[in-house]
Structure 1
Amino acid sequence: MARTARPAALKLLHGRGNGTDSGGRKVATGPAFRRIAPEAPEWLSAEAAAEWDRVVPGLQRLDILKEEDRAVLAAYCETWARFVEATRDVQANGLTITNHSTRKDGTESEWTTTNPAVGIAAAAGKELRAFAAHFGLTPSTEAALSKGGSGGEEEENPF
């Protein structure tokens, strides 16, 4: 996973003081977003709305949400809903499905193929991990948040 920039507050927290980071470089504070949770869009599916209600309180306690996160958070929640729906389909119908067709001459054929929900669940799971990482919702990104965003690794030395 690509490393993302640490927020200014974390750089200052681990810095040398006087507005500098751990390497003595001046820290730009960046924009001062209001740290309030966005309102859930009314068009969220039921499963996505439930996920929104589950994750927003915890993210709000961490003071990392802002109103501008609404679109990405909604995309995360809808991706979760797609993952759940596809997983339920695989549980109900299996990993493979049987297809039937009848030709014009009346000949019937039957074949087994992968349930399309398998691919949908896999793609949604991959997307879900990417979205979740932005909010610290995976074990590794949670650890990186608690360690100041570096994942415990030293910053790369440019020399």
Structure 2
Amino acid sequence: MGRKITLLDNTKKNLTKDEIEDRKAAERLAGDGFVEIQITAPNHLNPIAKQEYKRVVQDIQKLPLRNLDRAVLENYCLWYSIFKETSKKLNDEGMTIQEDGVSFEHPLVKTLEKATKNIKATASELGLTVDSRLRLYLPKKEKEKDDLFGKFG
């Protein structure tokens, strides 16, 4: 596995003309004929998840995501709402609980950690991070077989 891909404008690597063309052409691959993602938030989401859906869906339309990916987006929004609600509760109640003079970590801390992990995973799948957007756009190249004749002509 190689290094993470950087934006074409930010790369310090000397790219070949073919590599530059591939990176420029990557966005054109988004038009694939599938139904575009639903703009309105689904009714079954809670208010926080609906708000996050509305915030994210406008920018997601620029990515090659389609209605087939809606379940992942809904999952992301649900975990975001869990994260936000849990954070609010922990701010109100504190990170530790006192029982019989002994301090324990609040059980919601584990919920917050799980929500954070799931947000990161689903955000990466959806292209909400720079690295994941680059992976979505760049075409995969087939490796040519290395043989002695090809190397030495």
Q: Same fold (TM over 0.5)?
A: yes
Cα shift readout 1:27-73 (whole Å, capped 9, x = no counterpart): xx9xx55241125321101110000000001011x142211212111
CA RMSD across the alignment? 3.3
TM-score for the superposition, normalised by structure 1: 0.62
- Return the alpha-carbon distance in structure 1 between the equivalents of residues 93 and 43 of structure 2: 31
Q: Structure 1 residues 93 and 139, CA, compared in 2 at 3 Å: closer, same or farther?
A: farther
Residue 84 of structure 1 pairs with residue 89 of structure 2: no
Contact 1:37 1:65 in 2 (8 A): yes
Runs of 5+ in structure 2 lacking a partner?
A: 2-20, 24-28, 147-153
Partner of 1:58: 59
What is the CA–CA distance in structure 1 between the aligned matches of 2:139 and 2:50, rounded to whole Å?
A: 29
Q: Which residue number in structure 1 is paired with residue 128 of structure 2?
A: 137
TM-score computed with the length of structure 2 as normaliser = 0.64
Structure 1's unaligned 5+ residue stretches are 2-12, 16-28, 100-108
Shift, 1:120, TM fit: 0.7
1:14 to 22, 45, 51: 22
For 1:115 and 1:71, how far apart are their aligned partners in 2? Answer: 31
Larger mean Cα displacement after TM superposition, 36-45 or 137-146 = 137-146
Q: What aligned pairs does 1:120-135 form with structure 2 within 5 A after superposition?
A: 120-135=111-126
Contact 1:33–1:66 under 8 Å retained in 2: no
Match of 1:10 in 2: none
Aligned pair count reads 121
Structure with greater helix percent: 2
What is the distance in 1 between the residues matched to 2:143 and 2:113?
A: 33
Shift, 1:149, TM fit: 6.5
Asked if the contact 2:72–2:126 (Cα under 8 Å) also holds between the matched residues in 1, the reply is no
Residues 1:130 and 1:149: Cα distance change in structure 2 (over 3 Å): farther
> Distance between the aligned counterparts of 2:64 and 2:34, measured in 1?
10
Shift of the 157–134 alpha-carbon distance from structure 1 to 2, 3 Å rule, reads farther
**Displacement of 1:110:** 4.9
* Aligned-pair identity (%): 29
Q: Secondary structure at the match of 2:58?
A: helix
SS at match of 1:113: strand
